[in-house]
Amino acid sequence: MVLLLFTGYCSFAQHSDIDILKDINLNRNKALDNSMAALTNTVYPVSAALPISELIAGYARHDKQLITRGWTTVAAVGTNFVVTFGLKYGVDRTRPYITYPELQPYKHNKDASFPSGHTSFSFNAATSLTLLYPKWYVAVPAYAWAGSVGYSRMYLGMHYPTDVLAGAIVGVGTAVLTDKGNKWLQHHRNKSAHLEH
């Protein structure tokens, strides 16, 4: 009975997933295609520029806190890469336009669909930046950008909604866990240094 209910739920979820994607991709305003492609292509440059900027500014100002933040962001990006691509090759979900050829993707990628890498890296960057500057005027545009990237992945026919949702969770989760791990490490270093004195 439980197996039957679970199978029915999975089937319903899969139908909702493709129905939402088709609605977004096939009913899109094609005049926005180039803008959406440009938006989606900002992700990897921003993900690289954020920690590099933090480190350059930190070393230039001799700001130990900013240097530590920069290296934490580097670790967050690295952790996000490992988790995202580990899931991609572990789950190995076929891209939606392969299963549903009526979709109109802006290009054809050969890697797996779940989770959305662009979405995970955008949410990772937005979370890392918000942890560095916990102000609403930083968080709102950062997450608006990340959310728009996630939407662009569906608009461009590249990912199912669940790929995008999973990408957002992975991106936020890896940034938060890396931040907490760094704080734990700094606390224990300071504690050890205090005991030595």
Domain ranges of the chain: 2-196
Q: What per-residue confidence (pLDDT) applies to 196?
A: 59
CATH number of 2-196: 1.10.606.20
The more confident residue out of 38 and 189 is 38
Rounded Cα distance, 50 and 155, in Å:
26
Q: What per-residue confidence (pLDDT) applies to 12?
A: 47
CB count in 10 Å sphere of residue 28: 16
Is the distance from CB of 76 to CB of 182 less than 8 angstroms?
Answer: no
Does 54 have pLDDT greater than 90?
Answer: yes
How many Cα neighbours within 13 Å face the side chain of 123? 23
Does 87 have pLDDT greater than 70?
Answer: yes
In sequence order, which ranges of 110-160 are alpha helices (DSSP H)? 117-132, 136-155
Q: What per-residue confidence (pLDDT) applies to 110?
A: 85
pLDDT tens profile 18-52: 999 999 999 999 999 999 999 999 999 999 999 99
Q: What is the pTM of this model?
A: 0.88
Q: What per-residue confidence (pLDDT) applies to 188?
A: 72
Q: What integer best gives the mean pLDDT of the chain?
A: 90
pLDDT tens profile 106-162: 999 889 999 999 999 999 999 999 998 899 999 999 999 999 999 999 999 999 999
Does 6 have pLDDT greater than 80?
Answer: no
Q: What per-residue confidence (pLDDT) applies to 191?
A: 65
Direct distance between the N- and C-terminal alpha carbons of the chain, in angstroms, rounded to an integer: 64
Is the distance from CB of 23 to CB of 154 less than 8 angstroms?
Answer: no
